[in-house]
Chains A and B, each alone.
Chain A
Amino acid sequence: MDRIPILRMGEFLLVTIQVDMHDQLALRLQDDLTRVISKHGTRGVLIDISTLEVVDSFIGRMIADISGMAGILGARTVLVGMQPAVAITLVELGLALTGVATALTVERGMQQLRRSLAQAGDDGDAVER
């Protein structure tokens, strides 16, 4: 059964969703990601959804859940590259994903992660959401 690859880049994880998400795939990603985060002590997760064109309420909630779970495990999540159509759909579905950090591109997302981790380093080891 196919799964979404999780790439490790130092203390960050990069998840690129390049296929249409179906529910099973999303649940599996949730499992894999939480396991990898706790195993390697990851500080930041970057989820790239720039090729994702179709979302439903389940996938939308899934993304919010993943971000929440990663936060509990001490990793900050940034969602990057959302398409306009996807953003409009999520808003119309009432899923504004207020708890999830977002960025336009992978590069910007990476900067944002580094910045927030540097800030977090200053105030001890507390990781922002």
Chain B
Amino acid sequence: MSAQGTLRTVLRQRRSQILQQWSEQLTHGVTVSPHARLSSHELARQAEQFLDCLVAATQSGQPQDIHAPEWRSTREFLEELSRQRVLMGFASDETAGFIFSLKRPLFDGLLEQCGADARKLATEVWDATVLLDELGLYTVKAYQKTREDVINRQQQELLELSTPVVKLWDGILALPMIGTLDSARTQIVMESLLQKIVETESQIAIIDITGVPTVDTLVAQHLLKTVAALRLMGADCIISGVRPQIAQTIVHLGVDLQGVTTKANLADALALALRRTGAVFGK
């Protein structure tokens, strides 16, 4: 019997025994977090599904190369598993632990199969370790990829969230800035604001920085650039939502706001803008 044959036989003949031990490990062992985000029933189902994939894959001609086409269903299963665990908030070690906790029951099975033949047992265990390690690494890789996808999507959403230009009044636009300002984001914000100014022929733009957590020299410079560009186009700019800490920071940093009108809150800025456009109100 070839080296791979033993693993295959063990998987096939002792399937229920391995499955039972593995499920116990999964539910009671270190790999399960106290939050119990997965029921033991669900875990057992996943373990069974994975064993099926593994049996099918080891029956094929390429039992060691997990990138071979025979392993496709196993890979897809692991990808799906990793994806689910990312969404459920599992850590990467918990996800990989799913695969690694199979080692114990599998080695036990191999031990029983090989009996006293130590040389054969060593070879078998080594082969099985290599295989499971590869599968575990594959799981971590898939886990990380899903994580990165999530992060990328959130970044994109943040970028879209941060650039709404709101028309407050005839001739008055507001731009509520949210999040940290970097060069790329400022560029997008600036362009969309200037474009909107041209479209609506608004004379006054209010940039509200209530949602900007910190203002450093770079952010201040970005703001000043936006103000300068607005002025070149013939529009006025008011910066509102300056928090006390930010006012202190700006003065401590020695940033010269070059005569830019600033207000503590959006209401004050709107009142000023309305006065400037000549709107009259009665109570």
Contacts and interface: CB of A to CB of B under 8 A. Distances in A.
B203 interface: yes
At the interface, is chain A mostly helix, strand, loop or mixed?
mixed
A84 B191 contact: yes
Contact of B232 (A102, A105, A108, A109): A102
B107 to A, nearest CB: 65
A84 B229 contact: yes
B37 interface: no
A34 B145 CA distance: 65
Contact of A104 (B190, B228, B229, B235): B235
B172 to A, nearest CB: 13
A114 to B, nearest CB: 15
Interface in B215-269: 225, 228-235
Interface stretch (B119-127, B148-156, B174-182, B194-202): B194-202
Interface residues of A, number: 20
Contacts of A91: 225, 228-229, 232
Contacts of B197: 84, 104
B201 A105 contact: yes
A109 B201 CA distance: 12
A109 B234 contact: yes
Given A102-B234, A103-B234, A84 B203 contact: no
Q: Please indicate which of the listed interface residues B191, B201, B234 has the most CB atoms of chain A within 10 Å of its own CB.
A: B234
A93 to B, nearest CB: 11
Contacts of A97: 232
A65 B255 CA distance: 28
Interface stretch (A12-20, A75-83, A117-125): A75-83
B190 A88 contact: yes
B195 A96 contact: no
A87 interface: yes
Contact of A82 (B191, B202, B232): B232
A15 B230 CA distance: 22
A6 interface: no
Contact of B229 (A79, A88, A103, A108): A88
Interface of A: 79-84, 86-88, 90-92, 96-97, 102-105, 108-109
Interface of B: 190-191, 194-195, 197-198, 201-203, 225, 228-235
Given A84-B233, A104-B203, 7 more contacts: A80-B234, A82-B234, A86-B232, A87-B232, A90-B232, A92-B225, A96-B232
